[in-house]
Structure 1
Amino acid sequence: MAGPIYNEKNIKAPLYVQVYGTITGWLKEGKYKPGDKLPGENILAEQLNVSRGTLRQAMLLLQEDGLIMNHQGKGNIVLSNKDMSQSGMEKICNPMVEFCNEPIDKVTLTIGFQPPTPKYQEVLKLSASTVIAIIDIVYYSQGAAQGFANVYIPYDVLVKGNVDFDDNDEVYRYYCELLETGGLYSDTRLRVTSARERTAQVLGIKEDDTLLIMEEEIYTEFDAPVLSQKLLFRPSQYEFALRRKNDRM
């Protein structure tokens, strides 16, 4: 196999995702409070300078995430704070996007290939003769880097998805699909770390600045790992939600 392949280009989030982020920002800022009715579709579409079709896609995402509810004859109503916090880290998602305080509006991606190190042979249950894809992803909001992800995916997993390695948009979409539908459960660990030189350069911060790091493996229903990832967050830019409960007999 040829040496590592490195491609990089900007990947803009779909327009309806940007609209979703804008409206979510309004809710966080308190522009619309729990129980408030959002403006009608025509007004919102005009305010956001998008088509009604794009707006409706964003509204469906807001409804799926429990942020608003559509009442027939009444329109879209903002849910209570309790309802808005139901979806948290207990759901497998892309935490870089879901928990950022500002809407993520741009992603850059590089991809390379190499044999797995002993650590990833064990974590991903691979032999030394196999190949893994190493995907570095930087998440931006309004031009500022908010988080940095190192993702490790077995080459065979990407091949099964018929992924075009030269199309970074497609690689990123498939990665998101693996998070949302390819995995049944995860092993996730959170800790605090200090920024090293490379990460500091990527995120535009100082070396030794504090970062929050999430390390996790995503598994299928057959306990087969589909990816391992290390996510580095700027603590001031992220807020995580987790619903905990006691089992009662």
Structure 2
Amino acid sequence: MTTASEETRVPPRYIQVEETLRALLDTGGYRPGDKLPPEPELAAQIGVSRATLREALRSFEQQGIISRRQGVGTFVNPRPLYIDSGLETLESIEMLLQSRQLTPILRQRQVRSERALPKAAQRLNLKEGAPLTVLASTYVVADSPVAYLLEVVPTGVVDESTAAAWDMSLLDGLLQHRAFFDLGYGVAHIAPVHGSEEICAALDVDAQTPLFFIEQTVFTGAGTPCFYSRNYYLPQIFDFHVIRKLRE
């Protein structure tokens, strides 16, 4: 049974100071690497004792939010990159990252023409050996690789020269030029996998690192497959979820 005193219990003072300090770091213009004011000045700014401030700073240091250097000062650490996203909307990696005020950068990109192997031919409902345009791309955010995309499209939909001219993923190009491409929906399969040597090198991870793998086929509004991708994401950065509703 909850008592009135428990309902109105006030959190410890240093917890309140943590919340105030966190808000200060978020809104006070501090960037990674910036030095915080000396403890007496910071304590006066927040309106707490130095002892309480030290306790809050100690907690922040344990969380990796700040670093304290003996005789030098207290510095703001870079924030770990974390992206939480649903999978209900068909969107490109550029759209996903930009919606979170992140700037995606193409660090490596290969565009080539290939003949359809059995799996790609099956996914795209083509004959084996049909001409394909293939893009292999590594995406980077804040100098850290976050995803590797292997995208395949029939040459009759997007040829090699067109894909090479797009400074974006194939899916982003198709979505941006929707007036010319009839995109309807995507069917995705999700699994944890280990990457190949090429993929691990692109993402700067070792062969034992599990990756978030999404294999997707995009269809036209009429249900014709027009695009196929095999995308690899770093699970320590991406957390995908699906919203499930009750059966009607």
TM-score computed with the length of structure 1 as normaliser = 0.58
Look up the SS of the partner of 1:239 in the other structure.
strand
Q: Match of 1:140? A: 140
Distance in 1 (CA, whole Å) between partners of 2:171 and 2:161 is 10
Q: What's the offset of the Cα at 1:123?
A: 1.0
What value does the CA root-mean-square deviation take over the aligned residues?
3.2
Q: Match of 1:113? A: 113
Q: Match of 1:122? A: 122
Q: What's the offset of the Cα at 1:185?
A: 1.3
Distance in 1 (CA, whole Å) between partners of 2:169 and 2:93 is 15
State whether structure 2 residue 211 is matched by structure 1 residue 211.
Answer: yes
Distance in 2 (CA, whole Å) between partners of 1:192 and 1:239 is 12
- Higher relative contact order, structure no. (Cα contacts within 8 Å, ≥ 6 residues apart): 1
Within-5 A mapping of 1:189-228: 189-228=189-228
Q: Contact between 2:189 and 2:215, CA under 8 Å: does it hold in 1?
A: yes
Q: Match of 2:45? A: none
Q: 1:54-104, CA deviations, whole angstroms, 9 ceiling, x for partnerless residues?
A: xxxxxxxxxxxxxxxxxxxxxxxxxxxxxxx9x831110124751698824
May I ask how many residue pairs the two structures share in their alignment? 165
The 1:173/1:138 distance shift into structure 2, 3 A limit, reads closer
Instruction: Identify unmatched segments of 5+ residues in structure 1.
Output: 1-28, 39-84
Of structures 1 and 2, the larger Rg is shown by 2
**Aligned match of 2:162 in 142, 150, 164?**
164
Instruction: Identify unmatched segments of 5+ residues in structure 2.
Output: 1-21, 28-83
- Aligned-pair identity in percent equals 15
Q: Contact between 1:192 and 1:211, CA under 8 Å: does it hold in 2?
A: yes
Amino acid at match of 2:155: Y
TM-score computed with the length of structure 2 as normaliser = 0.58
